[in-house]
Amino acid sequence: MMINIKNIKGTKDLLPNETINWRQIENIIHHFMEVHGYSEIRTPVFENTKLFHRGIGENTDIVSKEMYSWTDRGGDSLTLRPELTAPVVRSYIQHKMGKSRPLNRLYYIDSLFRRERPQKGRLRQFHQFGIEAIGSPFPEQDAEVITMAYKIYETFGIKDLSVRINSIGSPEIRTPYLKKLRDALTVKNINLCNTCQKRINKNALRLFDCKKISCQKILDNNAPLIFDFINKNDRLHFEKVVSILKQMQIPYKHDPKLVRGLDYYTHTTFEITSSELGAQDALCGGGRYDKLVENLGGDPTPAVGFAAGIERLFIALGKETNPHPPPGNIYFITLGEEATQKGFVISEKIREKHGLSVINETLQRSMKAQMREANRLKVQYVIILGDNEIKKDLAIVKNMDSGQQEEVSLKKLPNHFMIDSL
Ligand code: AMP
C-alpha cells in the first residue's frame, strides 16, 4: 500500500538552505536583546488551558476558536501555546522573579500554534520573538519597548515601516466606554457584519479590528473612540511616551482606532506594519498589560511588551532561502577503508585543536567525486589520504584558493592548520 504522509496544513519544514537564514536572524535578535539588557526565557510548548482562558480572555478569537486543546489522559485540559505573554507571566509568577528584582526584562524566540486559515503570512505553527518588561509602570518603559521594536527592524534593513500607537487608558474607563460604544452601535439601520454583531456584546473593542470596509465606515461615522474617554493621568502617560519617541526619532502616528482586542491590554497599544507585506501587513504588535500578572494570581505588577512574527519578517526581508551551503574549512578525501578510518581519527583531532569544520567521506566515492563534493561545499582545504599516502605515512593538503599542494606527515597533520592561519 502506498503511503503519502505530508506535513500538516499551515505548518512548514525549514530546510537546510532556510535554517541558515533563520539562525542568522536569531543570532541578530539574541545580540540585540542582550545589548539592551534583556534575558532569554523559554517556556514549555504546552500549558494548562486555564492559563489562556484567564490570561487572553474567553471572548477573543484566539481562545474561542483558534486553540489546539485536548484532554490529557489524566483528565487535564492542555493547550499548545497560542501566544507567549501568558506563559512568560505564568513563569514570572511561579518562579517569584519579582522578588529577586523590581524589573525583569525578558525576551523569547519560540514557536506558537493557532488554528487560523492558512495563507501568505498566516500559518498554524509560526514563530515569534518578543519582549516582556515586567515591573515598571512608567512611560519610559513603554518607550523603550516601542523603540526596540522599531530599531530591530531598522537593524534588519526593513524600509517602509509604519508605527501606530494609541492609548486605551486605565481599566476603570473600559466599562463606561464599552457601554457608550454598544449604545451607539445598537441603534436602527446599522448593519455590521455577522462577526461584528457577535462582537458587540462579547468583545466590543475588537470591532475596530474588522477588515471589512463597510464595518469600518459604520465605526467612523458612529463609534465613540476610547482615546476620548481616557483620564488625565492616562493622557499624561501617553504624552510622555510619544515625547520620548520623538526624541528617539521614531516616526510614529497616533491612531485612535488601534485597540488590539486581547483582554489584557491597558494604556499603550502599538503596532508596526510594513507595506512590503501585502494583506497580512502586521510585523509586530504590543502594548502595556498592567492587569495580567494580577489576573494570573501574582502580586499586582505593571508590564509592557511586544510580539513579532518571524515568518513575516522573512517576507519583508524578501529572502526565504539561501542557495549556498555555509563554506566549510576542510574536506577530508579518503580512499579505502584504512584511510577512511585514519581520516576519522585525525579529523577529530583537528576539530578539537582548532575548532575548524572537517567533513569526512562516508559514501566511499571516487577521488573525482569527492573533489566535486569539496568544491560544492566551498571548503578552503582538502586533505587527500589514499593507499599510497598511507604507505608513506603522509597526506596531501591542498589549498583550494591557490591550488598549491604540499605533503604533510600524518603525525604533524593535526597541528598543521595551527601554523597555517585560516
Ligand atoms: P499577535 O500575537 O496576534 O499580536 O501577533 C504578533 C505578530 O505575530 C503579528 O504582528 C504577526 O507578525 C505575527 N503573527 C500573528 N499571527 C500569525 C500567523 N498565524 N502566522 C504567522 N505570523 C503571525
Tens-digit pLDDT profile for residues 339-361: 999 999 999 999 999 889 999 99
Residue located nearest, by CA, to atom 20 of ligand 1: 122
Ligand 1 centroid to Cα of residue 21, in Å, is 20
Quote the ligand 1 centre to 308 CA distance (angstroms). Answer: 7
Please report the pLDDT score of residue 57 as a whole number: 87
318: left (phi over 0), alpha (psi -120 to 50) or beta: left
> Is the pLDDT reported for residue 144 higher than 70?
yes
Whole-model pTM over 0.85: yes
pLDDT at position 209 is: 83
In this structure, the residue with its CA closest to atom 10 of ligand 1 is 284
| Best residue among 11, 126, 264 to mutate for probing ligand 1, ranked by most atoms within 8 Å of CB | 126
Pick from 17-26, 33-42, 89-98, 210-219: least confident: 210-219
C-alpha cell at 386: 589514499
Please tell me the residue having the least CA distance from ligand 1 atom 13: 309
Q: Cα separation of 163 and 159, whole Å? A: 12
Please compute, for residue 298, the number of CA atoms within 13 A of its CA located in the half-sphere on the CB side.
Answer: 26
* Cβ < 6 A, ligand 1 pocket: 83, 114, 116, 121-123, 126, 128, 282-285, 307-309, 311-312
Place of cell 504522509: 5
List, in sequence order, every residue forming a beta bridge with 408; answer none if it has no partner. 395
290 vs 76: CA distance, rounded Å: 29
pLDDT confidence bin for 320, thresholds 50/70/90: low
β-strands 266-274, 282-288 pairing: antiparallel
> What is the radius of gyration, based on Cα positions, of the chain?
28
pLDDT in tens, 163-213: 999 999 999 999 999 999 999 988 877 888 988 888 888 888 888 888 889
Atom 11 of ligand 1 has which residue's CA nearest to it?
Answer: 309
The helix (run of H) or strand (run of E) holding residue 99 is: helix 97-100
Neighbours of 174 (CB within 10 A): 17
